[in-house]
Amino acid sequence: MQAAVIIKAVESSWHYAKGFLDIGRVSDYIPILAATDATQLGCAVMTPDGSCHKFGNADALFSMQSISKVISLMYALKILGREKVFAKVGAEPTGDPYNCLIKLETAGEKPFNPFINAGAITVTSLLAENAQLADIMQFCHKVFGGEVAVDEDVYAQEKRAGKRNWSMAYLMSSKGALGEDVEDYLNLYFRLCAVNVNAVNLAHMGAMLAGGGKSPTTGEEIVPPWVITTTKAIMLTCGMYDGSGDFAVSAGLPAKSGIGGGIVATGGTLGLGTFGPALDSKGNSVGGIKFMSKISEQLGLSVFSC
């Protein structure tokens, strides 16, 4: 694909998406998110050679939030293997909001998938018990193509506001689906949610997913290909909360959103990253979804395209 074609697609898709921002609203879950400028939209696309085409607020930093669930899943798969991870968490979409407790009560002990909060907390507990924070951050640097850091204010606010996560973790621990050190798991969980990234970081991550686990900038194999195949499958079926099905129809890309406004996606050989803090009712970035759907259509990126 020629650079000029991509650049034009990024620009026109950005302009198209920009027109929908007023449908959404920023998350008011914590003060820092509530104070975010809802009119921002940044988009970045990275090619296999590491070139990045960006538009709008592509350098603005924001907390990655649920995109950390992909990081945790990949790192857990890498260091623990498929079997140990999927002994603790499933790979099924749920149709429920990301923070719903009902299936935990009614449908067995294992959370449905690693991208709902319950499942992500479970995966995080595996990391807490088997890895050091420094190593996970090192992994983040590689995935994002540069240094990233925890925003300590976001972390503190998340920890205080995240009572529903405390509730889930204690419920799972009471059922034996989670270990005893609930506070440790949640501290790590909230910490990873609070890592600041920008759209270019997400495009780098997307390009790594497109490249079978190799860094588009350094060429290093960050995770083996089977981790990527597994991760992309779960991203497509579960990555956009209970809007995953609609996104599969409209964009057809493995993707993951966060309530900080980010979306990471991969299509063909490209990595895509967006930042648009105005969210729809399911917690997905309005501008990000519109951008992803439009550029997927323009460049024929959907895995379901004919």
Both structure tokens of 277: 């803090």
Interaction between residue 179 and a copy of itself (CB under 8 A): no
Choice between 39 and 224, CB closer to a copy of itself: 224
Distances from the Cα of 93 to the Cα of 7, 100, 167, angstroms: 34, 13, 21
* 3-state DSSP helix/strand/coil % of the chain, to nearest 5: 50, 10, 35
Site string for a copy of itself, 53-72 (x = CB under 8 A): --------------------
Choice between 168 and 279, CB closer to a copy of itself: 168
Query: How far is Cα 182 from Cα 266, in angstroms, rounded to an integer?
Result: 33
Choice between 120 and 197, CB closer to a copy of itself: 120
Partners of residue 262 on adjacent β-strands: 275
Least spacing, CB of residue 99 vs a copy of itself, in Å = 9
Interaction between residue 20 and a copy of itself (CB under 8 A): no
Choice between 90 and 206, CB closer to a copy of itself: 90
Nearest residue to 61 via CA among 161, 162, 201:
201
Query: How far is Cα 10 from Cα 121, in angstroms, rounded to an integer?
Result: 35
Question: If phi over 0 gives left and psi between -120 and 50 gives alpha, with beta otherwise, what is residue 264?
Answer: beta
Q: Interacting stretch for a copy of itself, rule CB under 8 A, among 18-26, 60-68, 187-195, 208-216?
A: 208-216
Of 12, 173, 196, 217, the one binding a copy of itself (CB under 8 A) is 173
Q: Interacting stretch for a copy of itself, rule CB under 8 A, among 4-12, 47-55, 122-130, 243-251?
A: 243-251
Interaction between residue 181 and a copy of itself (CB under 8 A): no
Choice between 112 and 275, CB closer to a copy of itself: 112
Interaction between residue 163 and a copy of itself (CB under 8 A): yes
Interaction between residue 167 and a copy of itself (CB under 8 A): yes
Of 101, 133, 137, 156, the one binding a copy of itself (CB under 8 A) is 101
Contact by Cβ (8 Å): 77, 222: no
Contact by Cβ (8 Å): 277, 26: yes
Q: How far apart are the first and last CA of the chain?
A: 18
Of 201, 242, 263, 299, the one binding a copy of itself (CB under 8 A) is 242
Contact by Cβ (8 Å): 100, 246: no
Residues in contact with a copy of itself by CB under 8 A are 90-96, 100-103, 105-107, 112-113, 163-164, 166-171, 173-174, 182, 211-213, 225, 228-230, 232-234, 236-238, 242-246, 248-249, 252, 254, 302-306
